[in-house]
Amino acid sequence: MELRKDPITRSWVVTGHREQAAAPTEVCPLCAASIPRDKVLLRLPGDGPTQVTVFPHFDPLYRIEGELGRSAEGLYDKMRAVGAHEIIVETPEHTRKLTEMRDEEIERVTQAYGARIADLKKDPRFKYVTVFKNFGPLSGEDWTHSNSQLIATTFVPRRILYELRAARQFFQEKDRCVFCDIVRQEMKQGVRVVDTQGDYVAFCPYASRVPFEVWVMARKHNHLFETPRPGANRRNLAALLGRTLRRLQQVSVAYHMVVHTAPSVLQTKGELSDYWRTIADDYHWHFEILPIVETRSKSYSIKEVYFNTMLPEEAADRLRRLDPNP
Ligand SMILES: [Zn+2]
Ligand SMILES: [Zn+2]
Ligand SMILES: [Zn+2]
């Protein structure tokens, strides 16, 4: 297993990872009895027993040990697939979904995201930490037991690089954060806003890639998801996330959710050196939720461009009308 860099697009590709076909067992590997106790990285207590448990993935895409082994093959670059791949078990209850959890429970899940991101960012080998959740069989979820996953990589994923570049450029020209500007315009126009709570807003982005795409973010500027602003009320974020996902589950059986936060500030060299100087002012964390509505989506056949059959204004209108607590 190794990482290869496409010299044209500069994106890294994990090559040679064959998923071990999980032997069908009656025992759920995410239920408390199966979790390897000596490997637990984080536990967050609930009202009674532990609610959230984090431990290393059984079949990781990236391995935590070792040096990067960056090397060249002619004009090509490659390195070892070093990184971290963790499973965040959101609840000890086997059938309980994130949408069924109380706000404080959802908040605990997001606390676990933040705590693990902050911890992995201390490792100087890692440039980026991604937290994501695949929900529903169509999303490629690994287990039905409610979970999220975290991946720390020695490179910045391509989509994040695009965002960093665009955010820095916008800031250089206007001295403002592009995400803050987007939020201000969306709040003013209102047509794509799905819901708000406290300092947080959920809206369908202007150029939504799929029907019912929703971003959830803070209305006040902050580049680091894992470090809330002083006085930030993350219970409000949890409540808004819960309501948004409960709306989405009425139009879609599956979704991908990903947290985008700024890369590690330890990275002041290499490909990030141009970014870190203004990153605290120009980047802004956000959740991107991409429902899987169409099973035969055109974006599969013509992958370079997204084809979205639904206007985000219409998507936001439909989502607003749905009961957030069905
Ligand atoms: Zn289970
Ligand atoms: Zn901002
Ligand atoms: Zn993003």
Residue 196 is encoded by which pair of tokens? 């708000």
What pLDDT shows up at residue 22? 59
Q: How far is the CA of 213 from the centre of ligand 2 (A)?
A: 20
What pLDDT shows up at residue 296? 57
Task: Kindly state whether residue 146 falls inside one of the protein's structural domains.
Answer: yes
Tell me the β-bridge partners of 321: none
Asked if residue 326 is part of any domain, the answer here is: no
Query: How many residues in the chain?
Result: 326
DSSP characters for 283-307? ---EEEEEE---TT-HHHHSTTS--
Domain count, the chain: 1
Instruction: Report which DSSP code applies to 147.
Output: E
Q: 258 pLDDT exceeds 80?
A: yes
pLDDT single digits (tens) 227-238: 999 999 999 999
Band (pLDDT 50/70/90 cuts) for residue 247 is: very high
Q: Residues 150-185: pLDDT tens digits?
A: 999 988 898 998 999 999 999 999 999 999 999 999
Task: Give the closest ligand to the alpha carbon of residue 158.
Answer: 3
In a domain, 312, yes or no: yes
Return the pLDDT at 267.
57
pLDDT at residue number 189: 97
Amino acid 148: pLDDT: 97
State the distance from the centre of ligand 1 to the C-alpha of 76, rounded, in angstroms. Answer: 43
d(CA 250, CA 63): 38
Beta strands 12-15 and 2-5 are antiparallel
CA distance 297 to 210: 9
Residue 316 phi, psi dihedral angles, 5° rounding? -65, -40
Q: Does residue 293 lie in a domain region?
A: yes
Closest-CA residue to 279 (of 267, 295, 292, 290): 267
Which ligand lies nearest to the CA atom of residue 283 in the structure?
A: 2
Task: Spell out which residues have Cβ within 5 A of ligand 3, the ion.
Answer: 260
pLDDT at position 12 is 85
Task: Note the ligand closest to the C-alpha atom of 286.
Answer: 3
Beta-carbon contacts of 297 under 8 Å, excluding residues fewer than 6 positions away, are 210, 307
Residue of 178, 179, 126, 190 whose CA lies nearest to 152: 126
Task: Check whether 297 has a pLDDT greater than 70.
Answer: no
Say if 257 falls within a structural domain.
yes
And the tokens for 325? 């607590």
Alpha helices per DSSP H over the chain: 103-120, 158-174, 178-189, 234-248, 279-282, 298-301, 312-321
Q: If you measure from the C-alpha of residue 284 to the centroid of ligand 3, how many angstroms do you get, rounded to a whole number?
A: 9
- Is 39 within a domain? yes
Instruction: Check pLDDT > 90 for residue 43.
Output: yes
pLDDT digit string (tens) for 87-146? 999 999 999 999 999 999 999 999 999 999 999 999 988 999 999 999 998 888 889 999
User: Which ligand lies nearest to the CA atom of residue 288 in the structure?
Assistant: 3
List the CATH number of the domain containing 246.
3.30.428.10
Q: How far is the CA of 32 from the centre of ligand 3 (A)?
A: 33
